[in-house]
Amino acid sequence: MYEVFADLHIHIGRTKNNKPIKITAARSLNFENIAKECVERKGINIAGVIDSASPYVIEDIEEFLKQGDAKELQDRWNYI
């Protein structure tokens, strides 16, 4: 059994290009900042992004992967 730290209810406030996603969330809550905060400071292994269906958030996630700042897990069940 693995111990996993997770936050499964994260809202994104803005995109990297400052497009609003959730108006009441802080402007600094974009995908990149959230992902880095999860990994670097909080030690979170799994983050559930509530707004991940937004086309703008999807663009930010794809860009984050393209830059090599994160990688997609090929066989996610081997990590649980």
Domain membership flag for residue 13? yes
CA separation for the pair 58, 67 (Å, rounded): 14
Q: Is 53 exposed, middle or buried (0-12, 13-18, 19+ CB in 10 A)?
A: exposed
* Residue pair 9/48 in contact by the 8 Å Cβ criterion: yes
Domain membership flag for residue 43? yes
Give me the residues paired with residue 46 across strands. Answer: 6
Domain membership flag for residue 38? yes
When the pLDDT of each residue in the chain is averaged and rounded to a whole number, the result is: 84
pLDDT for residue 46: 83
pLDDT in tens, 20-54: 888 777 778 888 898 888 889 899 888 888 888 88
CA separation for the pair 14, 16 (Å, rounded): 7
Domain membership flag for residue 1? no
Q: Which domain holds residue 47?
A: 6-79
- pTM equals 0.70
CA 36 from chain center: how many Å? 8
How many domains, the chain?
1
